[in-house]
Amino acid sequence: MGIAIFTRQQVEELVQFCKKHNKTQFFLAKDQGLYIGQTVGSQKNNDFENNIQYANGCDPKLDDDEWWDNSRDIAGGDDFGEHLPLGTIEKTLADNSWKNLKVKITETELTFIV
């Protein structure tokens, strides 16, 4: 397993989206890529919105044939989704010195590093 990297801008955009929609959690998921995000509404009601931020090298739309291997190298072969408190990433924004948020992923834990 490995380390997923997200830019400060990605984290800021996700936190703003969550605050706008009064969400207190976000998710980290691996399926069609590796990403953090949040969703609101429903497609049935035509009010669905989402904010998805892909880890560096793990976006199927940008990373062509590499996203699958990169996602698997970082987070293992199984798909997963983990809901986490927004404070986990929101509090990191108070420190202006970092440019990338790193998420160390092991079989048993997630560690957030700035």
pLDDT at 1: 84
Distances (CA, A) of 87 to 14, 33, 64, 113: 12, 24, 33, 14
Distances (CA, A) of 65 to 61, 69, 70, 71, 93: 10, 8, 9, 11, 32
pLDDT tens digit string along 40-49? 998 899 999 9
pTM of the predicted model as reported, rounded to 2 decimal places:
0.93
Q: Which residues contact 94 (CB under 8 A, 6 or more apart)?
A: none
Q: Give the domain 3-113 fold.
A: DNA Polymerase III; Chain A, domain 2 (3.10.150)
Domain ranges of the chain: 3-113
5, 6, 97: which is closest to 51 by C-alpha?
Answer: 6
pLDDT tens digit string along 86-110? 999 999 998 999 999 999 999 999 9
pLDDT tens digit string along 51-92? 999 999 999 999 998 999 999 999 999 999 999 999 999 999
